[in-house]
Amino acid sequence: MSGVSVMKAANDTRVGWIGLGKMGTPMAANLLAAGHAITVYNRSAARADALVEKGAALAPSVAALARDCAIVISMVSDDAALQGITLDAGGVFEAATPGMVFIDMSTVSPALSERIAAAASAKGIHYLRAPVSGSTTTAAAGALTILASGPKDAYERCLPLLQAMGKKLYYLGPAEQARYLKVAINMMLGVTAGMLGEALALGERGGVEWAQMIEVINNSVVGSPLLAYKAEMLTTRNFAPMFTASQMAKDFDLALEAGRDANVPMPLAAVSRQFLGAMIASGRGELDFFAYVTMLEELAGLKPVGSHG
């Protein structure tokens, strides 16, 4: 690798950002706030307006962005979107010059990530996998947990960028470790929501007062940071999405695909995915995935009353 100047993540290195959704926008804003020069691209260009007003440049295409930036970061919705901006014609890899650092922070399959790694290697691109754990709130606060794997020297040189977006950073290894751990964690989130929903429906049937039941569970041995984070949502029964059931179903598909590829049996994940499908079919797909409890209540013939009706 010729010149550290291509790899460094100092404030004078222009950073490209692809994907300005609910998570990508606040993450890119934090890079700007930290003093990094960034160029952004989004399929719907209007979504870039707020960042452009704060000093970001706007690229007309993915290829133009890649030609202008030594480091490119993406935060996109799924495998198809990531393949489109990397491997397909007009993507980052076609326009990139050797030595570029490409950091993908999306939640995607290990299988696609392996293909991207091979293509990056062939082009002399340094590819970091850096999926995140957290919500739009933690993204805005620059407090995400970032799971990183890939070339360690690229990771170390890009730490200033990652630290502008995350509070807890973990380097996990040279290959797809970050991808596997991310889908494993999201799988555990979904299974937890299912378990809790069934427990709440059972307690409700037994006459336990709703808010008190949530408080007691939250303060019991099975309490967790996740439950504490969702306690208000459950208590008020306001399931406005922090992460939708449809999004969770997509992540379960990633986990189950990875399990099949690796011959790892995942029966709990498979059953949980079926119930996520039922949430979508019953009109709950765009609610927070913790709205699972409402489907269990329906199946149990419960009709919530009072403050939780």
What is the dihedral sign for C-alpha 203, 204, 205, 209? positive
| Contact criterion met (CB below 8 Å) for 198 and 294 | no
Residue 309's pLDDT is 37
Name the residue type at position 222: V
Residue 45's pLDDT is 87
Q: For the beta carbon of residue 148, count every other beta carbon within 10 angstroms.
A: 25
- Do residues 210 and 279 both lie within one domain? yes
- Do residues 13 and 158 both lie within one domain? yes
- Do residues 75 and 169 both lie within one domain? yes
- Do residues 185 and 246 both lie within one domain? yes
131, with CB counted inside 10 A (0-12, 13-18, 19+), is buried
- Do residues 195 and 157 both lie within one domain? no
- Do residues 257 and 235 both lie within one domain? yes
Which CATH number characterizes residue 22's domain? Answer: 3.40.50.720
Question: Whose CA is closest to 29, among 8, 43, 50, 59?
Answer: 50
Q: What is the pLDDT of residues 226-253, one digit of tens each?
A: 999 999 999 999 999 989 999 999 999 9
Provide the whole-model pTM. 0.90
- Do residues 161 and 19 both lie within one domain? yes
Q: What is the pLDDT of residues 76-129, one digit of tens each?
A: 999 999 999 999 999 999 999 999 999 999 999 999 999 999 999 999 999 999
**Which residue, of 175, 193, 227, is where some domain finishes?**
175
- Do residues 67 and 192 both lie within one domain? no
CA atoms of 297 and 88, how far apart (whole Å): 45
First and final C-alpha spacing in the chain: 62
Question: Whose CA is closest to 131, among 150, 152, 156, 157?
Answer: 150
Helix (H) or strand (E) holding 16: strand 15-18
Residue 135's pLDDT is 87
Q: Which two tokens stand for residue 152?
A: 């360690």
Q: 3-class DSSP state for residue 97?
A: coil
- Do residues 34 and 150 both lie within one domain? yes
Domain count, the chain: 2
Q: What is the pLDDT of residues 2-39, one digit of tens each?
A: 333 333 444 558 899 999 999 999 999 999 999 999 99
CA atoms of 244 and 170, how far apart (whole Å): 26
Task: Give the structural domain span for 193.
Answer: 180-308
Alpha helices in the chain (DSSP H): 4-7, 24-33, 49-53, 62-68, 79-86, 92-95, 110-123, 136-140, 152-157, 159-165, 177-205, 210-218, 225-236, 245-262, 267-281, 292-299
| Contact criterion met (CB below 8 Å) for 171 and 148 | yes
- Do residues 90 and 188 both lie within one domain? no
